Copies of this chain bind each other. A is one copy, B any other.
Amino acid sequence: MGFSKKHIFDEQQNQAALITKVLGHPARISIIQHISQNKCCNCNELVQNIGLAQPTISQHLNEIKKIGLLDQDAKGKNLFYSINVDRLNDCRRIINDFFVKTQINCCK
């Protein structure tokens, strides 16, 4: 046990769960907020501001990349991250749809 059973759920359910799972850690919420507030934010800046070790930040960045929320732009030795706004809006729509449909079902 301990294994995943996502095959018994449909595409939409797995998609909504994947997005919320990635958002389901305060470090990742914080990283996304910080990048959005400081366009062209590099890894080091996140390490300084958030207070987690560099490998830990790097790991969380990878999780966020999994749902396509990050663009990156290498400039010299720096790697600047920014939010992919189109994908952000996709995610927002997917999660909001879940809430709206649930709410409508409850009240009819």
Contacts and interface: CB of A to CB of B under 8 A. Distances in A.
B8 A51 contact: yes
A5 B23 CA distance: 16
A9 B24 CA distance: 13
Give the oligomeric copy count. 2
Contacts of A16: 23, 26, 29
Interface residues of A, number: 46
A13 B33 contact: yes
A83 B88 CA distance: 27
Interface of A: 5-6, 8-9, 13-14, 16-18, 20-30, 32-33, 36-37, 39, 50-52, 82-83, 85, 88-89, 91-92, 95-96, 98-103, 105-107
